[in-house]
Structure 1
Amino acid sequence: MSEEVPRPAERAKRLPRAVRERQILDAAVSVFSRYGYHSASMDEISEVAGVSKPMIYTYLGSKEDLFGACIRREATRLLEAVQDGIKPDLPPDMQLWHGLRAFYRFVAEYRESWTVLHRQAMTVGGAFAAEITDMRTRAIELVAALVVSAGTRKGLGEQAEFSGAGLSAALVGAAESLADWALDHPDVSDGVLASWLMNLVWLGFNDLVEGEIWKPSESDD
């Protein structure tokens, strides 16, 4: 393999199981992010983690099991970061802006995690793609709650609920695409990225909750 992955100076001994599992998962995320699921080897993960392959199998199972554990841990960390970033005492638009900032901050600080979640897991497909779909569904529900809340404040009721999920899915997709772009543009701050997306998307949401709906000038027969 052409890229060098940092390795521990020596194999650690007698660590608590939880610490050892975290050590293995950290190493696995690093290796998977560089080489992808198929090209990454358990030998490489073993070397980076500083543990034997039998120990990896004992603690976290097969390579497939290990990759799944990485996805679940990183997805949970990402969603928790976003939820912690939202300030519930603020209006919905500011809640979303803070949530987006937390999201882009996570991507910047944990590039390997985002690479595994966004670039690697979806290309492998199968059960791994289902894990990512579940993460995206939870993110959409989080955004939809803010959209519906904004609409309810304006008295739109069912109209806000009807459009909230679909528009939130569009926003989440846009947020992910911008995060992928941001990996190659690390000089752009999380606040700027969040503001770009708010200007692109929330202004449309705001028109919707104000009851202003765009329609084509001519019907398409």
Structure 2
Amino acid sequence: MSQTIEKQQQILDAALQVFGRYGFRRTSMELIAQAAGVSRPALYKHYTGKEEIFRAVAEQAIDRLVGQAAEIGREDGDVADRVFRALNLKLEFVTGSVEAGFRGEMLAEVSVLAPDLTRSFKDRHAAVITSVLLAAGDELPGLGTVLSAHDAAELLLAALTGISQQEDEVHVLRTRLRQLVDITVRSLT
């Protein structure tokens, strides 16, 4: 890996922590530079501003989450468990990297600053969940009659967005997600 790429990754890793701690609005280039251990001029050699850094952080996180969700989707095992684990990746990322008071702000900022990334993530994540449900085949005889696989995926993702914005303890949010997945899958059996 080149020094430039390593430095950019160092900046993005630091920026994720800063955005998660202070929210988008209160984060400054100075805070990012300090966290990354670089000067502000050095930071500007790599990125034009915090919006560009924010977008790069979001893009990298989205690619990682969708890739991991797709891997989970290809595994064998209980369909509800695979759907839960593929959805839980987003919940764990949000709750693990963004302080509770800034979760709603951060999700809103991504929607405003990078609506194309928001749409891409939703579409790609929905495709993974849809494929998991479709692969379950005979296990879900109600699929298509009660709810299409795509509609079930969209419903689960919309609910996950709401769950991930809550300020409750992580274990409470995880339990709510698990209950939602179980109810949805049970309705299709």
Same fold (TM over 0.5): yes
Q: What percent of counterpart residues are identical?
A: 21
| 1:176 aligns to 2:161 (yes or no) | yes
Bigger Rg, structure 1 or 2: 1
Shift of 1:82: 2.5
CA distance in structure 1 between the aligned counterparts of 2:26 and 2:110, rounded to whole angstroms: 11
| 1:122 aligns to 2:105 (yes or no) | no
Shift of 1:139: 0.9
Match of 1:75 in 2: 62
Question: Partner letter of residue 151 of structure 2?
Answer: G
SS in 1 for 2:131: helix
CA distance in structure 2 between the aligned counterparts of 1:118 and 1:83, rounded to whole angstroms: 26
Shift of 1:44: 1.4
Contact 2:15 2:57 in 1 (8 A): yes
CA distance in structure 2 between the aligned counterparts of 1:173 and 1:128, rounded to whole angstroms: 18
TM-score norm. by structure 1 comes to 0.68
Over the aligned positions, Cα root-mean-square deviation in angstroms equals 3.3
- What are structure 2's unaligned runs of at least 5 residues? none
| 1:112 aligns to 2:98 (yes or no) | yes
Change (3 A) 1:165 1:113: farther
CA distance in structure 2 between the aligned counterparts of 1:20 and 1:149, rounded to whole angstroms: 41
CA distance in structure 2 between the aligned counterparts of 1:18 and 1:116, rounded to whole angstroms: 29
Question: Partner letter of residue 183 of structure 2?
Answer: L
Change (3 A) 1:91 1:124: closer
- What are structure 1's unaligned runs of at least 5 residues? 1-14, 207-221
2:169 to 185, 192, 195: 185
CA distance in structure 1 between the aligned counterparts of 2:11 and 2:38, rounded to whole angstroms: 8
Q: How many residues align?
A: 187
CA distance in structure 2 between the aligned counterparts of 1:117 and 1:132, rounded to whole angstroms: 15
CA distance in structure 2 between the aligned counterparts of 1:77 and 1:48, rounded to whole angstroms: 22
Contact 2:24 2:109 in 1 (8 A): no
TM-score norm. by structure 2 comes to 0.77
